Structure 1
Amino acid sequence: MTTAERVTAAGAVAAAILPREASPIEKALLTVELLALADADPRVIATAWDPWRCPTVLLPWLAWALSVDVWDPAWPEARKRKMIAASPMVHRLKGTRGAVRRALDAFDLDSTIVEWWEETPPSRRGTFRVEIIYADGGPVFDLATQIQAIEAVRSSKPKSRIFTTRATIPFAGPLGFHAHERTSLAWTVQPFQFTGETIGGQLFAGAITAGLLTHTINPKE
């Protein structure tokens, strides 16, 4: 079939679909759309709504169609597909703990939801805490991921509930024991202010015999 014949055939279908008072421009636009659909691979159409088989270039549109609450074009493709796949169930369960759980799982983060009655002692009634745990190989201190995960929790939680977040890093290492004698001389000048820097390392437990001489100097008033 020649191009002219294809246009004529598509035009006839467009005229049959549209109402009689449709303008020529409306008929022309529908004709073009019909021609484009005729050239589309039906296998692509069949996978367009499948988050795992949808063509990569169409993922942003599929995310929009399925109302994904949090989206970042910079995400790796695997995360985009997980977020899209999780969205329908998140919306069905929105306002429940299950929705929050599924929204967090889509980020591939090791996380825990702690309800107010699970605290010791119990915290404020109706609140909960989200703990994001950074294990070996995880995105340690990935601020962008933290912000997006918190936004996903905010979008899926019950609107009346207040939550807090906490980022934790499990630490494992050798434990050493030793004992020695030590004499130390310490000077403390007030006022003292901690800058926030933390130095971590191996954990040692020991016993010492110490002689301590301590001087404290306070500013003259």
Structure 2
Amino acid sequence: MNESLLPFNATQTERNLSLVTKRSSSLPVNINHLWDPFRCPENLLPWLAWSLSVDNWNSAWPTSVKRQQIANSIEIHRRKGTVSAVKKAMAVFGVQVELSEWFETKSTPHTFSVMAWAGDNFRDNHEPVLTEAYYDALKRAIDYSKPVRSHYDFKVGILFDSDFGIGVVQQSLAIKRVDGEFIYLGAGLDGDLNIGGINQGHSVTRMSMEL
């Protein structure tokens, strides 16, 4: 039985198009999922990111971060140049953001400061919390969502829940201030907690940058 609805006098081009359309329904990918960042097949996420003009992308990111980045893209583009856009762009990477604008701190006009408290959804279990890749991803999130004329100071650190503050706590603290480039402090500070101790590693890197 011929399932085509084309008239008997249809051209060969029309018949070919009908055949292609019919075959598309039997593809191994559910077409209805291709535009959904949370159901799109993982290997097709880069193409979905490109089609939605995602500005900040890295193939090495965890899949959950990639999907959230795509999901937030349209809203970030709508609000670019605002505080909410900066916070939303950074929230993808599991950070708590404290942002102060120049008029709130009586600083130089068109400047702002950002304190990003790192989360743990950006890493595998064996990796440090604060890495150069993590820092670069956060900085790019600010760069593409902030007002073009604005300059900023950026700091990133690890914020532990109050639950870890009980018992005998041994704290290792490393602070480094640099201008213009990021330096990751190794020194055995991997940000992990050994609750048996309790040992708490707290690594904070301060960044002052003029763009």
**What's the TM-score once normalised by structure 2's chain length?**
0.62
Aligned residue for 1:52?
38
- 2:44 is the counterpart of 1:40: no
- 2:79 is the counterpart of 1:93: yes
Which letter does structure 1 place at the counterpart of 2:148? K
- The unaligned stretches of length 5 or more in structure 2 are 5-9, 123-127, 170-184, 190-198, 201-211
Aligned residue for 2:178?
none
- 2:117 is the counterpart of 1:133: yes
Distance 1:143 1:96 in 2: 26
Rg: which structure is higher? 1
Q: Which residue of 87, 102, 116 maps to 1:116?
A: 102
1:67 Cα deviation after fit: 0.7
Q: Deviations over 1:71-110 (max 9, x none)?
A: 1111111111100001010001111111111101111122
Q: Tell me the number of residue pairs that the alignment of Structure 1 and Structure 2 aligns.
A: 163
- The unaligned stretches of length 5 or more in structure 1 are 7-11, 18-26, 176-195, 203-221
* Structure with the higher fraction of residues in helix conformation: 1
SS state at 1:39 partner: coil
Identity %: 36
Q: What's the C-alpha RMSD, in Å, of the aligned pairs?
A: 3.7
Distance 1:34 1:142 in 2: 47
1:39 Cα deviation after fit: 2.6
Distance 2:118 2:87 in 1: 17
Distance 2:153 2:11 in 1: 58
Q: Which residue of 143, 146, 150 maps to 2:135?
A: 146
1:40 Cα deviation after fit: 2.2
The 3 A distance-change label for structure 1 pair 198 and 16 is: closer
Structure showing greater relative contact order (alpha-carbon pairs closer than 8 Å, 6 or more residues apart): 2
Aligned residue for 2:92?
106
Q: Deviations over 1:8-39 (max 9, x none)?
A: xxxx676138xxxxxxxxx7xx6885464243
User: Contact (CA 8 Å) 2:94, 2:120: kept in 1 or not?
Assistant: no
User: Contact (CA 8 Å) 1:103, 1:156: kept in 2 or not?
Assistant: yes
Q: Deviations over 1:46-93 (max 9, x none)?
A: 111111111222111111111111111111111111000010100011
**What's the TM-score once normalised by structure 1's chain length?**
0.60
Distance 1:68 1:158 in 2: 17
Which letter does structure 2 place at the counterpart of 1:16? E
Q: How does 1:1-221 map to 2 (within 5 A)?
A: 15-16=13-14, 33-34=20-21, 36-40=23-27, 44-119=30-105, 122-134=106-118, 140-170=129-159
